Structure formats: C-alpha cells, structure tokens
C-alpha cells in the first residue's frame, strides 16, 4: 500500500508497518488501538477534486488513494457508498434550520452504513488469504459482513447477542452466514467471538479492534464533502454506540483537510441513547469510561462496554464538539418526524443523531444559519417492531364505503 | 408535454389528448387501458446516448424526454432509480449461464421497484393540483407512494389487504399515510379504494388504471440498457402480479428501440407463483383471463384479479417470450440462492423472476451463452417472516467456547 505509512498506536504513539497482521499495539494491549497513517503527498498526487469530478465510479472505491487497500485487490461486487445527500425543506422548517443536509446511508446494499466498513474488511481478508471472516455485532456490522462476504465468495461466522432483531438475523442467514446467537448481551457476544476467532484463526472484523474498518466508515464524510461541493459543515451529527462510526467520520474530515481538499474542520456532535450512554457520561464527566447496562430500543447503539471510546472521545474533543443523550421516546418521535417530512425510514439507532440534533437546536447550541449534516445510519425495515411502536396501527375497515366514511369522519380531514 | 402525442386505448386504438384527466378509454371502460404515445422525433432531438454519457443526474430523471411529465414540474426529492446492475459470477456458475446481469431494485429509496412508478404519480398529482394521493396495494406500491408523497409534501391514503406484511404497513405509517386495512383480499382493497377515490376526489395511483405509472416502471429497462452500454439482452425476466411491471419493462425497450437507442428487442419472460397465476394460465391456454385465489407467500405478486393482464400479455406475445410458474418452495430456494451467492436479499416476489430463470435454464429454453437480465424487484427486509422460512434459525449457545466447539463440531467445517 503505497499510500499508507504505517499503523500508529493511539495510546503510546508507536508506529508499526501496515503489512504486519497486528490489530492492536503489542505494547499497550487492548487499549492500544491503531490508527492508519497516510502519506498525504502520495494522496495529493493520485487524487484531486478535479479527478473526482471526472470519476464515474459512484461507490466508496472512487476514494481509493484514501483507503488502506492494495490497488489491485479484489473488491466486493456490491455497490457500497455514494448514498444520497438530501436537502430536506420540510424537516428544516420543523427544526428551525436553514442549511441542513441528510445522508441516507440506509440505502447501502445491506441497508446500513456498516457496509462501508465491511467492504474494507472483506478486501483485507482477501488480501491476506483468509477464507472465513467473523465478527460480533448487534446486527448491522454482521449483516453487512455476511452480505459482502457472500458476494466475495468468503465464509462468515457471526456472533449476535440474544436481543438482535429477527430481521437482522434473517438477513444473516439468507447471506449464508453461520450465525451464533449468544445467550447474553453484546459484551458476551464480543468475548465469545474473540475466543473463537483466536481458536479457529478467522479474519477479525470487530470494528474497534481492526484498524482498517474505521477507514471504510470515513468514506461517509468523504462523500458528504464532495456532495456539498467541498463546503465543510459547521456541525456533523452522528449516533454513537461503539464509537467507531463517529471516529471514522472524523477521520474522513481530517484526511480531507490534511490532503488539502477542505480548508477547515467541522464540530462533531455525538448522540447516545439515555439508557446506554457510557461515552456521553465519560465525555461530560471527564472520568474514565465505565460500563453501563444496555437499556434502549436503539439496539444498534446499545453498547454497554464500547470498544472504541478513545477514538470517539478524541473526535469530539479535537473538533470542539459535544455529546448529548436522547430518550427512547425522542428516538421514536424522530423516526416519525423523518418519515413524515422526508419519506425516509430510519431504524432507531439510525435516527438517534437526528433526535439529538433536534435537542441541540432547541437548546441553542446549534443555530439557525449553521451548515449542519446528519446521517441516517440504517434502514427502518431492519427493526419493524420498533417502527410499529413509533407509528401506531392502521385503520381496519370491512370492504364497505359507508363504513369507511364513518371511520374516517372526525379522524382525518381531506 | 412536448414529448407526448397522446394517450391511446389499447383496446379500440383511439387516441386522446394527454392533458385530459382521462385514465381509461371513455368508449371501452375498464378494458380500455391507455398507453402513452411519444413523439420520437422530439425525443431524438432532446436526448441521445452521448448526452446521457455526460449526464450526472443518476436517477430516473436523467431520462426526462422519455417521461410523461412537464420539464419544470416539481419532482420527488428522493433519489429514485439508477440502482446497481450486478454481474454475479457465482450465481452464473450455479445456473449455468455465462452472461447474466442482476438489477437490484430493492435499493430504491423505499426498497422496491415501485418507487419508479410512484415518483411519476406524485409529480402528476402535483402538476394537476391534487393535495392527496391514494392507491390500493399489496404493499410496495403503497409504501413507495407514501414515501414519495411525504417527501413532496402531499397527503396519502393507502388501502391494503388484510394480509399485507407488518413491515410494509409500518413503513406506510412512518411515512404519515392514512392506512386503511381492508378486511378482505387485494380485490376488496382495490374496489374500496376506487369508490373512495371517486368519493373524495383524490389522485389515483392504481397502476393498471393510471396510464402514467407504467412509464415510471419502464425506467428500469432504460437503465439496464444504458448500464449494458446499449447491448440488448436476449432475455429479460420479471416476476408478474398485476402485470404492470413487465408491461413497463417492455415499454422501456420499445421506446429505446423507436428512438434509435437500441437495434433489437429482447424476449420477455414473465414468472408467476403457482398459487396465483391467472396471467400464465391465460397466456398458455389462449383463453380470456379468469380470476384465481391468492395462495402464495409472494404477497407482492399475489393478485387474483390482475388489472393489467392485456398489457402484460401483449408484452410477452409481441416479444415472442414466455411465461412460467414457480412454487413457493422454489421462491424460498431462490431467496437463499441469491443471498448465498450474491449478498443480495430479495423479498419473495422480488426473487420470483430468478426462480423462474432457474427453471427456464434447466428446461433448455434459455441457453448458456444468451445475454440474460433479471430484476430483484423488492428488498427482503420487507418480509422477514418468509425470510425466516427460507433461512432457518441461528445456532443458540451460552457464552462459552467449550459449548461453541461442541455445537459447531460436525455442523460446519472451517
């Protein structure tokens, strides 16, 4: 990889060569998460705003010089990335914003932002000769890994916690994954997957451990900046679970800045669910992270023991951003608000950023004229039970116009 | 609309001006479905292969001169169309084909091909000053209408039959639609919607009745041909319910042919579920269509009294194509096959075309070297219960490596 200088430990600062199969710093252990260090001179020589404007590959691979993969590596055949960036008039009116953009990452091939990371995972697994990839996940990382593995012809083994919604599990099985439903919480699933990966020698796609996955996630902000014609948002709002997504989003902005594509950086706002907010708590208190129970319906961000709090906390702090919590009720309200005003159906974790944005605007931290972007990180079809909670039930009628008139009278005005 | 000459009755051949609010032929009644007649000279002057190659609007609107809307009309803000066309190596090996392309239309904004028709519906409703749009649907037409209406700021009223899957209904409600669950089958829902539309004066998005919707659906084949660099498939395979989708697909090929973009036409193959196959029966027997019960799990194509059999039958016959039925078991197998080999998750009706293709190849009607395209018309996340039937259940284990080793032994080899 001519564009990569090495992997740097975010704890001790040591740099390791990128072709080692090292996932965490040998000195610092689990705390020693690694960060990919690029050669920005190489990047500048190989990609520019102008070459991008001519590039008709509308997928994450248009940013190849920014990605930690070999140029000639086999890639997932699925079309990952280049999801739409909407400018939602009615939603802006409701929120009281004049320049809001909404990235719909539920339109990725397996219906979540996680496809961006899994696309990198399967390429790296292929580069290194693995035949089986594995991860533990509350759902989206898993389905994206299983889908991209199937498309690449790799086997996948997925560890899910007991509470993973049926839709997400069905998707895994359809993709041919071996699915292990661990009778416990996410933490139990994570530990068992780590032991099994060590035992069988599979490729490890656990996002916080594998330094390459954040690099896939960062493509969401590469796209946002290009779609905004290289304007930089004042605020970028993301939901936060494990911490990897907001860390990746921040890495995207920083890489673009270092390579001279943009001339400033945004503030990052991270939003957690009140029932599971260990990273918000650590941010606000300044104390080390302490685990929490996982009491939220936003299952994709219900992570009581996040694996990557440091990268996430660094992103918020470096960017001079903030963190905020929202209740499950506020999340359900955000699902309705998004659907009613934009025709976009987000899953609970997918709209948590939007719920937080609403609060940040109401609280005066984000003002009307700031340029704001938030991302819907997963499709609501993945978790229909919660959608039903948010949306209510249909009006049942017999096939008779008289009955329909009676039932609609008073209810709806046309 | 400078590109449209008029609306022609497919029964008696009379042509009506396109600015009349006439949906069916006043002479022929319900049988008199209308077809949009274009001015191909106008089209040739306003769009070409070359202008398309420079056009960076990757949505259905890139084909504006082929569409029955006014140039300056307000359009749905959702990004409809330009879904990926895959070249699925492993699937080709399994099927015994050397040139198969797979269009994943589940990646439309509300996760089905129907977004193409609903995008046109909301534009037409807007052009004609309506504030409320309505339809009856087994689900996908409905959710696409509700989503696109919400994005446009229109109200929607949706009539669904009792059996519509929960995921599809939840999506409607999230989009703010007034959802009427008609306690009966699709036919009952259709009739009640027709009465209610007449009574309240809403815009009618029932696809077989509204002549403009087929024109939205045809964009799927406009895209396929452009994505194939204007090669024409030997065979195009679609699942068939109401008949409108395959009719639209055929219209797309014919319009491209008339406008000189392609130099031949494909054969169309229509696939129905054995438990509800009135159009196949009419095609094979040559007798007029007779209604059937709706006994299939492929709910999106379970239409016992199709509204548009004539356009569908014309498409198959004119193209010298064929029709075939598949069992529910074959549909479930096709879901697994698609997921395992391609990482694409289709709903039952969405993979019915693929199930039929498998049979047509096995039966020798389609041969190894023919250029074949089929379309996955809807995302499997819309109907998770059937996915569970197809995929089975995960392996449950306690968080213990010893137990995991025991459970995996014999089951899986890594």
Contact A390 B174 (CB under 8 A): yes
Residues 6+ apart with CB under 8 A from B69: B1, B75, B120, B123, B124, B127, B212
Taking only residues 171 to 230 of chain A, the set having a beta carbon closer than 8 angstroms to any beta carbon of chain B reads 171-176, 178-184, 188-189, 191-192, 195-196, 199-200, 202
User: Can you tell me the mean pLDDT for B185-196?
Assistant: 91
Could you read off the pLDDT of B238-276 as tens digits, one per residue? 999 989 999 999 999 999 999 999 999 999 999 999 999
Contact B176 A400 (CB under 8 A): no
User: Can you tell me the mean pLDDT for B186-215?
Assistant: 89
**pLDDT > 90 fraction of chain B, expressed in percent and rounded:** 81
Q: Evaluate if residue B31 carries a pLDDT over 90.
A: no
Q: Evaluate if residue B413 carries a pLDDT over 80.
A: no
Identify the three-state secondary structure at position B349: helix
Distance (Å) of CA B341 to CA B86, B139, B378: 12, 27, 18
Domain extent listing, chain A:
85-111+213-391
Give dist(CA B87, CA A78) in Å, integer: 10
Identify the three-state secondary structure at position B253: helix
Identify the three-state secondary structure at position A144: helix
Nearest to A58 among B58, B153, B173 (CB): B58
Nearest chain A Cα to B155, which residue? A414
pLDDT confidence tier of residue B139, bands split at 50, 70 and 90? confident
- Distance to chain A for B331, nearest Cα, Å: 13
- Distance to chain A for B94, nearest Cα, Å: 13
Dihedral of the CA atoms A119, A120, A124, A130 (nearest 10)? -30
Distance (Å) of CA B138 to CA A383, B191, B398: 20, 13, 41
Contact B182 A399 (CB under 8 A): yes
Among residues B104, B148, B345, B381, the alpha carbon closest in space to that of A379 is found at: B381
Q: Show the tokens assigned to A250.
A: 């921040």
Contact B200 A414 (CB under 8 A): yes
Could you read off the pLDDT of B298-316 as tens digits, one per residue? 988 988 988 779 999 999 9
Task: Find where tokens 């990839």 sit.
Answer: A133
Per residue of chain A (414 residues), what is the pLDDT tens digit?
899 999 999 899 999 998 767 788 988 987 888 999 999 999 999 999 999 999 999 999 999 999 999 999 999 999 999 999 999 999 999 999 999 999 999 999 999 999 999 999 999 999 999 999 999 886 899 999 999 999 999 999 999 988 887 777 888 999 999 999 999 988 899 899 999 999 999 999 886 678 899 999 999 999 999 999 999 999 999 999 989 999 999 999 999 999 999 999 999 999 999 999 999 999 999 999 999 998 999 988 988 988 779 999 999 999 999 999 999 999 999 999 999 999 999 999 999 999 999 999 999 999 999 999 999 999 999 888 888 888 888 999 999 999 999 999 876 666
User: Can you tell me the mean pLDDT for B278-286?
Assistant: 97
Question: Minimum mean pLDDT among A31-40, B22-31, B114-123, B305-314: which range?
Answer: B22-31
> Bigger pLDDT: B375 or B412?
B375
Residues 6+ apart with CB under 8 A from A296: A273, A274, A275, A276, A302, A328, A331, A348
Q: Show the tokens assigned to A20.
A: 């080692």
Give dist(CA A204, CA A202) in Å, integer: 6
- DSSP for B180-192, written as a single string: EEESS-HHHHHHH
ipTM above 0.90, yes or no: yes
User: DSSP letter at B112?
Assistant: B
Q: Looking at the DSSP assignment, which residues form a beta bridge with residue A112?
A: A378
Q: Evaluate if residue B232 carries a pLDDT over 70.
A: yes
pLDDT for position A170: 87
**pLDDT > 70 fraction of chain B, expressed in percent and rounded:** 98
Q: For residue B35, count CB atoms less than 10 angstroms from its CB and return exposed for 0-12, middle for 13-18, buried for 19 or more.
A: middle
Give dist(CA B210, CA B221) in Å, integer: 20
Q: Are B173 and A394 in contact (CB under 8 A)?
A: yes
Q: Show the tokens assigned to A303.
A: 């992570």
The distance between the two most distant Cα atoms of chain A, rounded to a whole number of Å, is 76
pLDDT for position A208: 67
Q: Evaluate if residue B414 carries a pLDDT over 70.
A: no
CATH class of the domain at B85-111+213-391: alpha beta
- Distance to chain A for B152, nearest Cα, Å: 8
Q: For residue B227, count CB atoms less than 10 angstroms from its CB and return exposed for 0-12, middle for 13-18, buried for 19 or more.
A: middle
* Residue of A174, A176, A184 for testing the chain B interface, max B β-carbons within 10 Å: A174
Could you read off the pLDDT of B154-187 as tens digits, one per residue? 999 999 988 887 777 888 999 999 999 999 988 8
């Amino acid at each position: 990889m001519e564009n990569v200088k090495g992997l740097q430990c975010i704890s001790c600062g040591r740099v390791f060569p990128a072709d080692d199969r090292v996932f965490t710093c040998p000195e610092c252990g689990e705390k020693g998460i690694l960060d990919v260090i690029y050669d920005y001179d190489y990047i500048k020589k190989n990609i520019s705003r102008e070459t991008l404007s001519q590039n008709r590959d509308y997928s994450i691979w248009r940013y190849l010089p920014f990605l930690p993969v070999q140029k000639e590596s086999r890639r997932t055949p699925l079309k990952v990335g280049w999801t739409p960036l909407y400018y939602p008039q009615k939603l802006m009116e409701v929120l009281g914003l004049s320049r809001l953009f909404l990235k719909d990452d539920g339109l990725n091939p397996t219906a979540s932002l996680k496809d961006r990371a899994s696309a990198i995972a399967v390429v790296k697994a292929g580069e290194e000769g693995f035949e089986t990839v594995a991860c533990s996940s509350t759902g989206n990382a898993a389905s994206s890994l299983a889908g991209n593995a199937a498309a690449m012809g790799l086997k996948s083994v997925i560890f899910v916690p007991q509470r993973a919604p049926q839709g997400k599990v069905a998707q895994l099985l359809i993709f041919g994954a071996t699915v292990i439903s661990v009778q416990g919480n996410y933490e139990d699933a994570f530990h068992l997957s780590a032991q099994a990966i060590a035992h069988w020698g599979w490729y490890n796609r656990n996002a916080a451990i594998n330094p390459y996955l954040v690099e896939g996630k960062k493509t969401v902000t590469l796209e946002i900046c290009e779609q905004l014609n290289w304007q930089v948002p004042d605020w970028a709002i993301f939901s936060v679970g494990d911490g990897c997504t907001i860390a990746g989003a921040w890495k995207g902005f920083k890489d673009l800045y270092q390579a001279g594509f943009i001339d400033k950086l945004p503030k990052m706002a991270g939003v957690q669910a009140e029932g599971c907010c260990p990273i918000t708590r650590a941010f606000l208190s300044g104390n080390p992270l302490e685990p929490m129970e996982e009491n939220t319906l936003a299952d994709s961000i219900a992570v009581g023991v996040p694996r990557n709090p440091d990268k996430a906390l660094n992103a918020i702090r470096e960017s001079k951003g903030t963190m905020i919590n929202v209740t499950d009720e506020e999340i359900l309200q955000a699902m309705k608000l998004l659907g009613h005003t934009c025709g976009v159906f987000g899953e609970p974790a997918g709209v948590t950023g939007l719920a937080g944005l609403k609060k940040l605007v109401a609280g005066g931290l984000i003002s009307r004229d700031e340029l704001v972007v938030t991302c819907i990180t997963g499709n609501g079809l993945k978790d229909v039970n919660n959608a039903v909670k948010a949306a209510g039930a249909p009006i049942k009628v017999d096939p008779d116009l008289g009955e329909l008139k009676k039932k609609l009278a008073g209810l709806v005005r046309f």
